[in-house]
Amino acid sequence: MNKTDTTRVTTKPGSTSPRSDTDWARLDAVTDEEVVAAALSDPDAQPLTPAQLSGMRRVSRVKVLRQRLGMTQMQFAEAFHLPITTLRDWEQRRSTPDAPARALLLAIERDPEVMRRLLAEGIA
């Protein structure tokens, strides 16, 4: 999903959410079997075959982490003092992070703000 085909609704604390045309009671009443049948009836959303699934590549955990933080490659690399080329190689699976890099990425994943602050303070 990219930012151009999503709608972001911003509300202030205490304000009500915008009204929706969704019939939530009707959706709650639908059974799992009805959901599966409806999904299978959509010609544009057919399940993938085992052959199709085997040909797909997983997204790199580094890329998932960076996207979850809402950062560009350049922002992530600068914030966590990583060479941009190394980050790109990890994301494109041309190379994998070594043990110290994996430890840094795990720390970033667990508490990105603390790591950002620590790295900002550590460089003088």
pLDDT tier at 82, thresholds 50, 70, 90? very high
Q: How many domains are there within the chain?
A: 1
Contacts of residue 45, defined as CB under 8 A and 6 or more positions apart, other chains included, come to 39
Residue 79 near residue 107, CB atoms below 8 Å: no
pLDDT tier at 1, thresholds 50, 70, 90? very low
Q: What is the pLDDT of residues 14-54, one digit of tens each?
A: 787 777 788 888 888 999 999 889 888 999 988 888 999 99
Residue 124 near residue 81, CB atoms below 8 Å: no
Which residues span the domain enclosing 85?
61-122
Q: Please report the pLDDT score of residue 113 as a whole number.
A: 93
In a domain, 92, yes or no: yes
Residues 11, 112: Cα–Cα separation, whole Å: 25
In a domain, 84, yes or no: yes
pLDDT tier at 88, thresholds 50, 70, 90? very high
In a domain, 56, yes or no: no
